[in-house]
């Protein structure tokens, strides 16, 4: 099925800025930003980030407070702290042979950087790739990674796949099936996540959040610190 999906990708693949580089730092930034964040939201923030910090060394030299402020609006702010720590590791010691040694880098992100930046023959398996593998029962080569990302994001959808326009439909055992959502995402409105986000926004603006529980969680994640009784972004 490799040829089918690659032929489809040549005609239908998305033009995304991180697909125009082999820089491992730029690829890492994109992969961290794309975790649980929509592509459309990531693109302008990715470009702005690389304009401000074009290398791991540049990011490593930046104050963590600036990094956290720049991340605002992308959500899951701990990713900013992990990315900053990873940049410091790279700036000080270079890229490790085992990329999972970098803070915040798991097996999938390591495989993505290895494939897209370093040309290693490993297939990064995210939710989209896994879904296509399970539905088709096919094994795909690492060359198909970007094609599978796009096929899963635009055609082989989680609940109602668009089998009528799928290049793999003819040989797919799951053709025309419909699926129930595996789980519902918890509401953000009124959640503890919202309280944390609000407290962090206040701290980033130089104001004092009064939600002690949210502040304690932010301190634990390295997103804020307490200094002489005040809450502030890390110095």
Q: What single DSSP character describes residue 231?
A: E
Catalytic residue among 11, 31, 213, 228: 31
Cα separation values, 128 from 28, 148, 152, Å: 19, 7, 5
C-alpha separations of 53 from 18, 35, 67, 137, 173 in Å: 15, 20, 10, 42, 46
Residue with tokens 């089998």: 163
**Cβ-count burial of 23 within 10 angstroms (0-12 exposed, 13-18 middle, 19+ buried)?**
middle
Q: Report the residue count for the chain.
A: 235
Q: Say whether 40 is catalytic.
A: no
Q: Which secondary-structure segment (H or E) carries 230?
A: strand 230-232
Within 10 angstroms of residue 187's Cβ, the number of other Cβ atoms is: 9
The catalytic site residues sit at 31
């Amino acid at each position: 099925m490799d040829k089918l999906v690659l032929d489809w990708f040549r005609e239908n693949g998305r033009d995304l800025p991180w697909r125009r580089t082999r820089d491992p730092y730029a690829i890492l930034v994109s992969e961290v930003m794309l975790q649980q964040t929509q592509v459309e939201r990531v693109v302008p923030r990715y470009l702005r980030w690389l304009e401000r910090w074009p290398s791991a060394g540049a990011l490593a030299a930046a104050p963590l407070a600036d990094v956290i402020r720049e991340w605002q609006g992308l959500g899951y702010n701990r990713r900013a702290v992990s990315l900053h720590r990873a940049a410091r590791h790279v700036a000080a010691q270079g890229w490790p042979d085992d990329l999972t040694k970098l803070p915040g880098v798991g097996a999938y992100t390591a495989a993505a950087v290895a494939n897209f930046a370093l040309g290693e023959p490993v297939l990064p398996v995210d939710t989209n790739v896994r879904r296509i593998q399970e539905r088709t029962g096919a094994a795909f080569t690492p060359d198909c990674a970007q094609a599978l990302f796009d096929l899963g994001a635009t055609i082989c959808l989680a609940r109602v796949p668009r089998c009528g326009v799928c290049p793999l439909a003819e040989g797919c055992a799951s053709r025309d099936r419909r699926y129930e959502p595996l789980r519902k995402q918890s509401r953000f409105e009124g959640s503890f996540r919202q309280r944390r986000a609000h407290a962090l926004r206040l701290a980033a603006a130089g104001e004092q959040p009064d939600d002690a529980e949210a502040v304690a969680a932010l301190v634990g994640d390295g997103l804020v610190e307490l200094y002489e009784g005040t809450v502030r972004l890390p110095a």
